[in-house]
C-alpha cells in the first residue's frame, strides 16, 4: 500500500489556492488607535473589524483589565472545574444573565468552543440539527463534530426549516441560526423560526454574535429586538469579542441546560478558563453597552450614511441594516483589486472570497464602528466608487 504524502497534498492545495487568488495573507498590526491601525509602518483607517461600539480601547475597560491583571495575574491557571474559576467569572456570568433576562449564563473561551459545547453536550447519534445555509462555520462544524445529522435550509426560510425538521429522523432536534449573519449582515426571522421549533418540538438555539450590543433595547441583541424571551429562545450564545470589544463567549439559558453544559461539555471542562482580567474588563464593557445608547445611535447614523452614499454612487450592497455592509464584487479578482486600491488610499478592508462566501459572491465586508467619523465614511465611499469604476473599465477593455 502506498499512502498519500501529506506534505505534497498540502503543497498542491496551496498552489491551487494561489492560482485561484484565494491564498490568505496575515497582516501584522503594529499599533492600534481606535479605528486606525499601523501596518508595516503605515497608518490605515480600518473598516474591517467587529469593535462595533468602540469599547476595545475604552479607558474604563482598559483600567479594569490592568487592575485585575495586577491582582490576579495574566491567566486563570486551570480549567473552571479545577481551580481556574474566579469570583469575577461568577460576576460576569450574573451580569450577562441579568442583562439578557435569562436565568443563568456560562462563560466560554470563544464562540467556536461554545457552539461546539452546546451541540456535543445536547445532541447524540440519531439526533438532528437543522440550520440556516449561511450559518457561521462554527455552528456547522459543531454539528459535524457532535456526530448527529446536519440538515440545512435555504437562507432566511422558516418554511424550509419546517420541511427539514419534518423530514428528520426520530431523534431529538435542535433548530440553530445566527441572529445577524456575519457575511451578509441581515437578520434571521426569529419569531417565525421560534414557532417552527415549537411546532416540531425542537430546541431553538440562536448565535447572536453580531447582534449583541448593537440591536434591541439596552443592546440586548436580536432576540430582544424581536420582543422574544428565554421562553421563546431557550438557549442563546453571545460573543464578547465583537461589540463588547474583548474575548470569549457566553451561553445563556435555563438552569437545567446551563448546569448540564457546565458538567458535561468537553470544550468547557477540558480547557483553561478565560483570564480573570479579561472577565473584569468585559464586565465594564457590558455596563457601557447597556448604558451608552449614544454609541448605537451614532453607529446607525453611520450605517445610513454609508448606505445612502454607496447607493448614490452605484455600488452594489446587500439588504443589511447592521454595521456589516457587504459591497458585492462578483469575481475574486474584483474584490482583491478593490481591496488593494483601498489600502493604497489608506483604508484597510480585506477581500472576502470563497469558501467564506458562495462562489461568484466575493465582496468587501465593510464594517462600521461608533468610533468612525462621518468624514471617514464619506472618504471610504469616494475611494470605493472611483476604484470600482476603474476595475470596470479594465474589465471592459480585457
Helix (H, G, I), strand (E, B) or coil at 121: helix
> What is the rounded CA–CA span in Å between residue 193 and residue 175?
8
At 258 the pLDDT is 98
Annotated binding site for substrate: 24, 136
Describe the crossing of helices 293-312 and 276-291 by its angle, rounded to 10 degrees: 70
Annotated binding site: 24, 111-112, 136, 182, 210, 239
At 393 the pLDDT is 79
What number of other Cβ atoms are within 10 A of residue 225's Cβ? 19
Domain ranges of the chain: 28-53+293-397, 59-291
> What is the rounded CA–CA span in Å between residue 48 and residue 189?
26
Annotated binding site for pyridoxal 5'-phosphate: 111-112, 182, 210, 239
Helix (H, G, I), strand (E, B) or coil at 216: coil
Q: How far is CA 332 from CA 21, 295, 327, 363, in A?
A: 7, 34, 13, 8
At 22 the pLDDT is 84
> What is the rounded CA–CA span in Å between residue 120 and residue 361?
32
Residuewise pLDDT in 10s, the chain (398 residues): 889 999 999 999 999 988 888 888 888 999 999 999 999 999 999 999 999 999 999 999 999 999 999 999 999 999 999 999 999 999 999 999 999 999 999 999 999 999 999 999 999 999 999 999 999 999 999 999 999 999 999 999 999 999 999 998 789 999 999 999 999 999 999 999 999 999 999 999 999 999 999 999 999 999 999 999 999 999 999 999 999 999 999 999 999 999 999 999 999 999 999 999 999 999 999 999 999 999 999 999 999 999 999 999 999 999 999 999 999 998 898 999 999 999 999 999 999 999 889 898 999 999 999 999 999 999 999 999 999 988 887 777 66
* Fold that domain 28-53+293-397 belongs to in CATH: 3.90.1150
Is the separation of the CB atoms in 246 and 240 below 8 Å?
Answer: yes
> What is the rounded CA–CA span in Å between residue 214 and residue 53?
7
Grid cell listed for 201 = 418540538
At 295 the pLDDT is 98
> What is the rounded CA–CA span in Å between residue 218 and residue 108?
23
Is the separation of the CB atoms in 71 and 87 below 8 Å?
Answer: no
> What is the rounded CA–CA span in Å between residue 213 and residue 204?
21
The position carrying cell 474566579 is 86
> What is the rounded CA–CA span in Å between residue 66 and residue 236?
30
> What is the rounded CA–CA span in Å between residue 283 and residue 280?
5
Helix (H, G, I), strand (E, B) or coil at 58: coil
Is the separation of the CB atoms in 370 and 35 below 8 Å?
Answer: no
Domain over 59-291 is classified CATH 3.40.640.10: yes
> What is the rounded CA–CA span in Å between residue 303 and residue 323?
6
- Maximum Cα–Cα distance for the chain, whole Å? 66
DSSP bridge partners of 348: 46
At 23 the pLDDT is 85
Burial 19-54, CB ≥16 within 10 A → b, else e: eeebeeeeeeeeeeeebebeeeeeebbbbbbbbbbb
Is the separation of the CB atoms in 301 and 369 below 8 Å?
Answer: no
The end-to-end CA distance of the chain, in Å, is 49
Is the separation of the CB atoms in 179 and 223 below 8 Å?
Answer: yes
Q: Looking at residue 187, what DSSP letter applies?
A: B
User: Is the CA virtual torsion 220, 223, 229, 230 positive or negative?
Assistant: negative
Is the separation of the CB atoms in 211 and 50 below 8 Å?
Answer: no
Element holding 125 (H helix, E strand): none
User: Is the CA virtual torsion 388, 392, 393, 397 positive or negative?
Assistant: positive
Q: Looking at residue 217, what DSSP letter applies?
A: G
What number of other Cβ atoms are within 10 A of residue 193's Cβ? 27
Amino acid at each position: 500500500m502506498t499512502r498519500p504524502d501529506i506534505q505534497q497534498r498540502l503543497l498542491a492545495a496551496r498552489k491551487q489556492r494561489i492560482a485561484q487568488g484565494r491564498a490568505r495573507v496575515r497582516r501584522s498590526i503594529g499599533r492600534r488607535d481606535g479605528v486606525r491601525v499601523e501596518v508595516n509602518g503605515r497608518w490605515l483607517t480600518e473598516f474591517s473589524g467587529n469593535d462595533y461600539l468602540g469599547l476595545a480601547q475604552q479607558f474604563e475597560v482598559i483600567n479594569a483589565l490592568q487592575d485585575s491583571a495586577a491582582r490576579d495575574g495574566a491567566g486563570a491557571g486551570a480549567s473552571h472545574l479545577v481551580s481556574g474559576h474566579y469570583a469575577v467569572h461568577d460576576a460576569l456570568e450574573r451580569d450577562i444573565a441579568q442583562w439578557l433576562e435569562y436565568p443563568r449564563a456560562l462563560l466560554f473561551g470563544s464562540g467556536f468552543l461554545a457552539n461546539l459545547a452546546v451541540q456535543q453536550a445536547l445532541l447524540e447519534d440519531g439526533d438532528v440539527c437543522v440550520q440556516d445555509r449561511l450559518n457561521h462555520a462554527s455552528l456547522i462544524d459543531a454539528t459535524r463534530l457532535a456526530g448527529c445529522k446536519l440538515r440545512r435550509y435555504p437562507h432566511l426560510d422558516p418554511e424550509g426549516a419546517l420541511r427539514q425538521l419534518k423530514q428528520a429522523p426520530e431523534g431529538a432536534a435542535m433548530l440553530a441560526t445566527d441572529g445577524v449573519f456575519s457575511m451578509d449582515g441581515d437578520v434571521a426571522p426569529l419569531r417565525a423560526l421560534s414557532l417552527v421549533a415549537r411546532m416540531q418540538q425542537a430546541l431553538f438555539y440562536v448565535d447572536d454574535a453580531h447582534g449583541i450590543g448593537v440591536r434591541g433595547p439596552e443592546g440586548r441583541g436580536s432576540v430582544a429586538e424581536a420582543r422574544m424571551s428565554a421562553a421563546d429562545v431557550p438557549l442563546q450564545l453571545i460573543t464578547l469579542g465583537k461589540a463588547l470589544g474583548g474575548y470569549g463567549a457566553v451561553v445563556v439559558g435555563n438552569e437545567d441546560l446551563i448546569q448540564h453544559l457546565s458538567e458535561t461539555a468537553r470544550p468547557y471542562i477540558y480547557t483553561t478558563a478565560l483570564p480573570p482580567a479579561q472577565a473584569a474588563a468585559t464586565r465594564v464593557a457590558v455596563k457601557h453597552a447597556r448604558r451608552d445608547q449614544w454609541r448605537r445611535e451614532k453607529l446607525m447614523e453611520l450605517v445610513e450614511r454609508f448606505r445612502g452614499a454607496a447607493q448614490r454612487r452605484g455600488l452594489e450592497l446587500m439588504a443589511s441594516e447592521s454595521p456589516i455592509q457587504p459591497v458585492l464584487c462578483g469575481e475574486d479578482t474584483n474584490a482583491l483589486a478593490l481591496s488593494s486600491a483601498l489600502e493604497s488610499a489608506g483604508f484597510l478592508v480585506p477581500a472576502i472570497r470563497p469558501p467564506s462566501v458562495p462562489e461568484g459572491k466575493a465582496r468587501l465586508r465593510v464594517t462600521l464602528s461608533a468610533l468612525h467619523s462621518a468624514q471617514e465614511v464619506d472618504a471610504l465611499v469616494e475611494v470605493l466608487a472611483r476604484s470600482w469604476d476603474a476595475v470596470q473599465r479594465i474589465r471592459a477593455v480585457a
